[in-house]
Chain A
Amino acid sequence: GESVGLHLPTLSVQEGDNSIINCAYSNSASDYFIWYKQESGKGPQFIIDIRSNMDKRQGQRVTVLLNKTVKHLSLQIAATQPGDSAVYFCAEILTDKLIFGTGTRLQVFP
Chain B
Amino acid sequence: KAGVTQTPRYLIKTRGQQVTLSCSPISGHRSVSWYQQTPGQGLQFLFEYFSETQRNKGNFPGRFSGRQFSNSRSEMNVSTLELGDSALYLCASSLGDRGGETQYFGPGTRLLVL
Contact = CB atoms under 8 A, between A and B. Distances in A.
Interface of B: 4, 33, 37-40, 42-43, 45, 48, 55-56, 58, 88, 90, 92, 99-100, 102-108, 110
A75 to B, nearest CB: 15
Nearest to B100: A93
A4 B90 CA distance: 12
A99 B100 CA distance: 10
Contacts, number: 63
Interface of A: 1-7, 31-32, 34, 36, 41-46, 49, 89, 93, 95-100, 102-103
A2 B86 CA distance: 13
Interface of chain B, main secondary structure: strand
A85 B102 CA distance: 23
Contacts of A7: 39
A102 B106 CA distance: 19
20 contacts: A3-B37, A4-B37, A5-B38, A5-B42, A31-B100, A36-B105, A42-B108, A43-B107, A43-B108, A46-B102, A46-B103, A46-B105, A49-B102, A89-B43, A93-B100, A95-B56, A96-B100, A97-B56, A98-B33, A98-B100
